[in-house]
Amino acid sequence: MAKRKTICFITAVPEAIHAQRVASGIFAQCEKYGYNVAVFSSMITPDFYMKDYAAGELNIYDLPDFTRFDGVIIDDISLVLENKTELADSICSRIKEQTDAPLVAIGIPLRGVTMVESDNEVMFRELCRHAVNVHGCRDICILTGQKDNSEAMARLSVMLDELAKLNITVKDEHIVYGDFWYTSGKKLAEDMISGKISRPEVVIAASDHMALGLIEELTSHGIKVPEDIRVMGFEATQEALLNKISLTTMESNFAKAAADAVDKVRAIIEPSGEIIPFVPDLSNMMRLGRSCGCEPDIDRTMELIRASMHFFSKNYATDLYKGHIDIGLLMESYIPEKLTASQTPDECIGNLYYSIYILAPYENVYLCLREDWLDMDAKTDKGYPDKMKLVICRSKDGTDDLRSDSEAVTFNTSEMLPGMFDDHDAPYVYYFSPMHFGDNTLGYCVLQRALSEKEKINLVYRNWLRFANNALEMVRSKYQFVNMSYHDKMTGLLNRRGMYSEFEKLCNDATTDDKVFVSVIDMDGLKYINDTFGHLEGDFGINVVSKAAASMTGNHELCVRAGGDEFYVIGIGKYDDSIFEQKKELFYNTIAKFTENSKKSYTVTASIGFASRPYSRDIQLDSLIFEADEAMYHNKMLRKMKNNRP
């Protein structure tokens, strides 16, 4: 059986209506052909006003290793703003540098990239026919996008052609170019109000946002819609349906374009495979609203309101809401408070794990972080390190789950997600989303769903990511403060406060068969080095002793700088008396190597003493340290006597 193929889908703002329609076309075709889909997407538009935040989001496009995919589809409309294609061009250049796999763009031509245009001709012709045949309009204004934008010009051309077939000629002043955004509609309204442009019977805008901007500005000046002028838009956005004056609009055909893009990829990667055409339901794509004088579709409006509204009093215990999480449940769950209350990294990871229920439905949810994500001095603002670690895996059935930073699974970043390319019984979609604080990349989250699942990315997911990002940053700060209070700044070893805290953890795992082992180490001649060579050299000597002490510290043992030139090594385990000589030999061999390699004019030495007792619940660590300290002092005296012999 051939390995299941995986298509990479690049987009932005996956909760937006445009991206959802593109995704629905891609998913529908890939499900037919049994392909997996990996979606890489920022949750904001590339021109987001918080530049540092935008940089952290857009870094997700540096993650995919395109050599691992069978084809790539890029939704360049979501990545191109104000006709600037730099981001889309740079992503495509990186794709072509890495792989010869087919690359297809949707909507806007990019240099050297195969393109699938969205065929919205039928939709714009229907808008024109509705204005003329239903409402009897003859004086029509067309508001389209930029003159140098191919999509804007195509939409204009279709509308002019259809109106000509209806024996209507559009005045030159009523062919208006904009930018597909609210501002263009506002500008057109201002020109009409000032008399610069005569007021038509109807304005057909090539985007909902331009139409909504027009309605807002007109009504603010007392011009009634639709009584004084009718307005129609295109794209069938949520904003259009929920506007105070609901907008008559037409759903775009981007799902068909996206499906065609998959078919183009399939024709290359499986030339003998059957192409199963995607057939859109054109009869269901017109959305009537009050803006043209029609009665809105109340059922559709209520459906959208139910999906978007924040209800405070839902009965979330009923089966009705299983697997249908909304923004109301997210806000009433107090997830942000639970996450930000986390005191330790593992507690934060655990709280994130338990909050994942809010992302239902899912097959698995994964959280991958940088290995050094807790280091406040480390920063990644471009690309990803060679290694990542998987700290969370939450499955829908709760088997083989992972929720620990300390026991995380490390993997090569080029894998993107361990096991993603393994064979599965059914095709899946993997949503890759950036995890960051400002422009500092912490890692990424992966939401895995069955490709047949109709739920798409929504407002709940985006806000959960924001809560998670803030929680990770807060616990990083807490960890740094705790780390500073528990560790010696010069050597990085535990201080006394850290020693007691960590020793308590060792005791929690101890049994009555264990022994407690303590070594006390004291540097020789620190005052002589300080007085003769200076305090910097004295600090050098302290660091040499600390490294030698660390070298004799085994796994699950503690290495402590107790203060000044004194160090402890502490452990609980199955020790026998031979441990003393083993540790001593390792310590002195290491300190001798450090001294020899340093080429200093003085020798760094230290004295060491040991003590051990059987473990019991009432064992006194300070008493055992005192015993080891006495042994160390005795050792120091013996060494002094030996060195002073003639």
Q: Give 389-440 pLDDT, tens digit per residue.
A: 999 999 999 888 999 998 899 999 999 999 999 988 999 999 999 999 999 9
- Dihedral angle sign, alpha carbons of residues 266, 268, 269, 270: positive
| Fold of domain 496-644 | Alpha-Beta Plaits (3.30.70)
Q: DSSP per residue over 411-433, as a string?
A: EEGGGSSTTTTS--SS-EEEEEE
Percentage of residues of the chain with pLDDT beyond 90: 67
Q: Which of 197, 202, 131, 138 is closest to 167 using CA atoms?
A: 138
Q: Please tell me the predicted confidence (pLDDT) of residue 327.
A: 64
Q: Please tell me the predicted confidence (pLDDT) of residue 310.
A: 39
Q: Would you place residue 259 in the very low, low, confident or very high pLDDT band (cuts 50, 70, 90)? A: very high
Phi-psi region of 398 (alpha: psi -120 to 50; beta: other; left: phi over 0): left
Q: Please tell me the predicted confidence (pLDDT) of residue 373.
A: 95
Q: Is 438 helix (H, G, I), strand (E, B) or coil?
A: coil
Question: Which residues lie across from 412 on neighbouring strands?
Answer: 387
Residue 556 near residue 573, CB atoms below 8 Å: yes
How much is the average pLDDT of 450-477?
A: 90
For 559-569, the pLDDT digits (tens) are 999 999 999 99
Q: Where are the domains of the chain?
A: 6-117+255-273, 121-253+283-307, 496-644
Paired sense of beta strands 249-250 and 71-74, if any: unpaired
Q: How many CB atoms lie within 10 A of CB 560?
A: 29
Q: In what order do the strands lie in the sheet with 140-144?
A: 175-177, 140-144, 202-205, 230-232
Q: DSSP per residue over 447-477, as a string?
A: EEEETT------HHHHHHHHHHHHHHHHHHH
How much is the average pLDDT of 134-146?
A: 96
For 8-38, the pLDDT digits (tens) are 999 999 988 889 899 999 999 999 999 999 9
Instruction: State phi, psi for 574 to the nearest 5 degrees.
Output: -90, 70
For the ranges 116-130, 310-324, 586-600, the lowest mean pLDDT is seen at 310-324
Residue 306 has pLDDT above 70, yes or no: no
Q: Note the pTM of the prediction, 2 decimals.
A: 0.76
- Dihedral angle sign, alpha carbons of residues 501, 503, 507, 508: positive
Q: How many CB atoms lie within 10 A of CB 152?
A: 21
Q: Would you place residue 307 in the very low, low, confident or very high pLDDT band (cuts 50, 70, 90)? A: low
Residue 426 near residue 451, CB atoms below 8 Å: yes
Q: How many CB atoms lie within 10 A of CB 151?
A: 21
- Burial tier of 166 (Cβ tally within 10 Å: 0-12, 13-18, 19+): middle
For the ranges 80-89, 288-297, 438-447, 492-501, the lowest mean pLDDT is seen at 80-89
Domains 6-117+255-273 and 121-253+283-307 share a fold: yes
Residue 543 to residues 433, 489, 491, 502, 567, Cα–Cα distance (Å): 43, 11, 6, 22, 11
Q: Would you place residue 108 in the very low, low, confident or very high pLDDT band (cuts 50, 70, 90)? A: confident
Quote the strand ranges of 96-209, DSSP E.
Answer: 103-106, 114-116, 140-144, 175-177, 202-205
Q: Which CATH superfamily is domain 6-117+255-273 in?
A: Response regulator (3.40.50.2300)
Question: Which residues lie across from 73 on neighbouring strands?
Answer: 9, 104
* CA distance linking residue 117 with residue 257, whole number of Å: 6
Residue 316 has pLDDT above 60, yes or no: no
Residue 177 has pLDDT above 90, yes or no: yes
Between residues 393 and 282, the one the model is more confident about? 393
* CA distance linking residue 509 with residue 37, whole number of Å: 45
Question: Which residues lie across from 449 on neighbouring strands?
Answer: 429
User: Under CATH, which architecture does the 121-253+283-307 domain have?
Assistant: 3-Layer(aba) Sandwich (3.40)
Q: Would you place residue 312 in the very low, low, confident or very high pLDDT band (cuts 50, 70, 90)? A: very low
Mean pLDDT for the chain? Answer: 90
